[in-house]
């Protein structure tokens, strides 16, 4: 990049994080997240979002909006990435499962915050592109899989947190089973032609499941069910 382009990206990157912090405060009454946690803010500042979008869209990488990444999929709006990350309350020792790798940006953010990230993508081209991004950025704690996320990834379960980045009519039972005790899952519930609600799923110490709808969202559809 030319120096002028680099400065433009840096300015927009800083502005993006400030907008996210503002939106986190404005939605606190819905999410119970009063402020963007400092470790998540640092992760958002560190991960180069422009490396996870198509080259022709790099100028828009730090706008607070979703962008197309091919195959009918999108890279999520940065605010959504931030709030979904905050909702699972990531810790350094955690192991997290992501359903829907997409461009790899959400996994890259998680990789700054937790011990291990396991991420599944059903579209091979997207998964391979994301893997290239991970290698270019030297992210070594993100483990991708090409496959249908409906069944989760039982080999490495249970997971302290699970993020689903496509809309489901209901929560896949396999993901509930693979969530650890005291674990947290964030998933958009609903169909593409109806209202989708970003939903927090928690499993308590006794294994009971609790579901809390948060706010309306719009995600690409994902085939879920038993």
Catalytic annotation, residues = 76
Whole-angstrom CA distances from 100 to 66, 74, 224 are: 15, 10, 12
| Residue 93, both tokens | 């020792």
Provide the β-strand partners of residue 73: 70
Helical ranges in 94-186 per DSSP H: 105-111, 124-137, 173-178
20, 81 Cβ separation under 8 angstroms = no
Q: What is the DSSP letter of 221?
A: B
| Residue 140, both tokens | 């070594």
- Rounded CA gap, 197 and 48, in Å? 28
Q: 78: which residues sit within 8 A by CB, 6+ positions away? A: 16, 19, 20, 44, 49, 62, 64
């Amino acid at each position: 990049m030319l120096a002028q382009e680099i400065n433009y990206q840096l300015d927009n990157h800083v502005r993006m994080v400030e907008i996210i912090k503002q939106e986190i405060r404005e939605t606190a009454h819905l999410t119970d997240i009063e402020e963007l946690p400092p470790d998540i803010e640092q992760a958002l500042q560190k991960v180069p979002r422009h490396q996870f979008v198509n080259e022709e869209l790099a100028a828009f990488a730090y706008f607070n909006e979703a962008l197309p990444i091919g195959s009918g999929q999108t890279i999520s709006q940065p605010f959504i990435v931030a709030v979904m990350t905050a909702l699972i309350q990531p810790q350094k020792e955690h192991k997290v499962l992501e359903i829907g790798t997409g461009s790899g940006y959400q996994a890259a953010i998680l990789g700054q915050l937790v011990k291990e990230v396991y991420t599944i993508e059903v579209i091979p081209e997207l998964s391979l592109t994301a893997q290239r991004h991970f290698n270019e950025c030297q992210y070594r704690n993100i483990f991708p899989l090409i496959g249908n996320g409906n069944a989760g990834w039982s080999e490495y379960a249970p997971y302290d947190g699970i993020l689903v980045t496509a809309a489901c009519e209901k929560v896949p039972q396999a993901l509930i089973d693979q969530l650890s005790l005291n674990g947290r899952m964030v998933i958009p519930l609903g169909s593409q032609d109806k209202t989708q609600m970003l939903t927090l799923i928690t499993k308590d110490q006794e294994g009971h499941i609790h579901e809390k709808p948060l706010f309306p969202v719009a995600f690409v559809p994902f085939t879920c069910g038993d």
